[in-house]
Amino acid sequence: MNSMTPELNQDNPGNGFVDVVDEGRLRYVTICRESRANALSVAMLGSLADAIASAGRVSAIDAIVLRSTGVNFCAGADMGELRTHRRQQYDALRTLIAALDKRAVPLLCVMQGRALGAGCVLSALADVVIASDEATQGFPEMRFGMYPSLVHAVLVQKLPEPLVYALCVGARVLSAHDAWSLGLVTEVLPADDFTKCARDRVEFYVARTAAVRYGREMMDQSAREMLLARVAKAEHIIDRNLADPEVEAMLSSYRK
């Protein structure tokens, strides 16, 4: 690492962690950083990628359940690290996207609260998204003068490109029902009894993992081949966007 680049402090408890538990034939992967709305540090991105990639090497695992602690699903990538460790964070995001794209077992995403930016990337690459009716998905990067290139690269797996552009450039926030109507959410469940209802629906899909895999195969024919190429293109756009002094000023103000 360049000596002028500040070191990442991975020992700080505020950096959060990813809890991985294999229970029966399921791997539960839980994002744990409530103090920062489950924003993803570089270390957490690496842990997520490892947990997802290694599940395919464990023959006893039939599916991955991705969830989070607290009231929010994921506030996206760590904005402080985006400013100070952009290359490390982008490399970690790219590795995670590749792991999600190439995973051998179905991924079920259980979502409540807010999902922002990279948090929406996680759910967009899941096979099944079970959301609370109070959950939201947002694309806030334009508020800081940044176009969410990486989010765009992933969302076009599921949505028409003009619609993706409208969501991203307009800094849109989608309700769970709006996201469902677009195909970004599979099911919307009542918030009042969400934990129990979500557990029941997870069991439904886990009992049918072969069918879920076949459904993914039908969805992935052409889009999958282009995903990583779009992710690579997004990296160059992000670099140019972050070099803008006005963006730096807005990000600095956000951090304060």
89 domain-assigned? yes
Look at residue 2 in the predicted model and tell me its pLDDT.
32
Give the range among 30-34, 85-89, 231-235 with minimum mean pLDDT.
231-235
Please, which pLDDT band fits residue 215 given cuts at 50, 70 and 90? confident
Q: Is residue 2 part of a domain?
A: no
Q: Which tokens sit at 250?
A: 């807005």
Is the pLDDT assigned to residue 139 strictly greater than 90?
Answer: yes
Phi-psi region of 244 (alpha: psi -120 to 50; beta: other; left: phi over 0): beta
What CATH number should be reported for the domain holding residue 119? Answer: 3.90.226.10
Instruction: Tell whether 120 is covered by a domain.
Output: yes
Nearest to 53 by CA among 104, 87, 2, 91: 104
Using CA atoms, how far apart are residues 10 and 34, in angstroms rounded to an integer? 16
pLDDT tens per residue, range 2-60: 333 334 555 454 679 999 999 989 999 999 999 999 999 999 999 999 999 999 887 78
Distance, CA of 107 to chain centre: 12
Q: With respect to residue 73, please indicate whether it lies within any of the assigned structural domains.
A: yes
Q: How far apart are CA 99 and CA 86, in angstroms?
A: 20
% of the chain beyond a pLDDT of 90 = 64
Mean pLDDT for 92-110 is 94
What's the pTM?
A: 0.83
- State the residue range of the domain holding 245: 13-194+203-255
Number of compact structural domains in the chain: 1
The reply to whether 3 falls in a domain is no
Q: How far apart are CA 137 and CA 178, in angstroms?
A: 9
Please check whether residue 154 lies inside any domain of the structure: yes
- Nearest CA among 1, 13, 99, 94 for reference residue 49: 99
The SS3 of residue 220 is coil
Laid out side by side, the sheet with 114-116 consists of 114-116, 136-138, 173-175
Whether the Cβ atoms of residue 123 and residue 129 lie closer than 8 Å to each other: yes
Does 240 have pLDDT greater than 60?
A: yes
Q: Whole-angstrom Cα distance, residue 9 to residue 15?
A: 8
What is the pLDDT confidence band of residue 254, given thresholds at 50, 70 and 90?
low
What's the maximum distance between 2 C-alpha atoms anywhere in the chain?
52
**Identity of residue 191:** A
Domain assignment present for residue 25? The answer is: yes
pLDDT tens across 149-181, in order?
999 999 998 899 999 999 999 999 999 999 999
